[in-house]
Amino acid sequence: MVATVNWNYPTFIRFGAGRIDELGRACAAAGITRPLFVTDPGIVPLPIATRALGVLEADGLHAAVFSDVQPNPTEANVAAGLAVMREGGHDGVVAFGGGSALDAGKVIAFMRGQSRPMWDFEDIGDWWTRADPAGIAPIVAVPTTAGTGSEVGRAGVITNLASHTKKVIFHPKMLPAQVILDPELTVGLPPALTAGTGMDAFAHCLEAYASPSYHPMAEGIAVEGLRLCKEYLPRAYRNGADLEARANMLSAAAMGATAFQKGLGAIHALSHPVGALYNTHHGLTNAVFMPYVLDFNREALWDKIDRLAAWLGIENGFGGFLDFILRFRRDLGIPHTLDKIGVDESRFAEMAEMAVVDPTAGGNPRHLSVAEALDLYQRAMDGRLG
């Protein structure tokens, strides 16, 4: 017999080129009449933002824009957005951009009607039940990158500057009511960001597949998400205007976030402290750690990766899959070692302590100790496998 478990699946998704023109209808379906448009400062001047805001205006929805969102959003970003939302009387959020904008927008919408501090709703036990669900504003999510899949998630990752840790704020009603996946919005994403965000989607699918939790539907979604990344990420990287590749990567990102309710693992557990302390790009950091963690989990995953490799058309089982990861990263311009993304060894001990208590560590197929986390950081610095 398997354990008794709970399964959840995503929301209403408008998928396809040009679907951003339905943004007003998506807001209406979500019950939003006065949206707060949450994005990041790099997106505000771009044509994709102008187009989206123009669609809202044409439908009689006069949106205010909040863009004070850092690449790894902080509690100060959420507080500033929340103040704008409350002062403007906004009744919903359009979260538009990459994972940072989506996470910040979702947490702002969540906090609109709460009286307790944000950290009281960290994803620990049943802390989410402390929230007043009636105070949570509806959300329409529009990703402009194909990576985090935050558009189909029920949580937001926010950096606590006091402790220099990433915290997951969770509530079931943080799941966006409407999602628009329009590949036209991702066409202008530069190759390096295409690779970094795409490898985030790959990491979500890989760790969800590897997690020992029982969730066969999520596991199947993870496998197909990996296939889509394998086939279409190199195409999107080489030719950003390839709409078929862009569309399939949007699908893969949403699939990764759907699948990782099954669990994540040591890739994310090691990556989160690095992002919190060094402000590195999350997907890129995941990609650097990927082969080292895969090698660490070898004994626990041997048979499972053998099956995955066969499904993906990769020869020689686990060893062939690890070789594929190394080639895949190289062809996407992903660095092999931590020093190449601005990380040094001075805080390895501190990060190892943080990694083992990260919420994602529990989903790793092999227990991660402080000593093992420290060794993995050093291996990722030295470029040592095996």
DSSP line for 67-133: ----SS-BHHHHHHHHHHHHHHT--EEEEEESHHHHHHHHHHHHHTT--S-GGGGBSSTTGGGGS-G
Domain 12-185 sits in CATH at 3.40.50.1970
pTM of the model: 0.94
CA 193 from centre of chain: 13
Q: Are strands 178-181 and 155-160 parallel, antiparallel or unpaired?
A: unpaired
Domain 191-382 sits in CATH at 1.20.1090.10
Is 358 in contact with 376 (CB distance < 8 Å)?
no
How would you write the pLDDT of the chain (386 residues) with one tens digit per residue?
456 767 777 899 999 999 999 999 999 999 999 999 999 999 999 999 999 999 999 999 999 999 999 998 999 999 999 999 999 999 999 999 999 999 999 999 999 999 999 999 999 999 999 999 999 999 999 999 999 999 999 999 999 999 888 899 999 999 999 999 999 999 989 999 999 999 999 999 999 999 999 999 999 999 999 999 999 999 999 999 999 999 999 999 999 999 999 999 999 999 999 999 999 999 999 999 999 999 999 999 999 999 999 999 999 999 999 999 999 999 999 999 999 999 999 999 999 999 999 999 999 999 999 999 999 999 999 999 98
| Beta strands across the sheet bearing 92-97 | 12-15, 178-181, 139-143, 92-97, 35-38, 64-66
Provide the residue ranges of all domains of the chain, joining segments of one domain with +. 12-185, 191-382
Please report the sign of the dihedral spanned by the C-alpha atoms of residue 25, residue 45, residue 80, residue 175: positive
Q: Which residue has the tokens 């001047």?
A: 45
DSSP state of 367: -
Q: What interhelical angle do 266-278 and 370-382 show, nearest 10?
A: 70
Structure tokens at 23: 């943004």
Which three-class secondary structure state does DSSP give residue 31? coil
**Which H/E stretch holds residue 307?**
helix 298-311
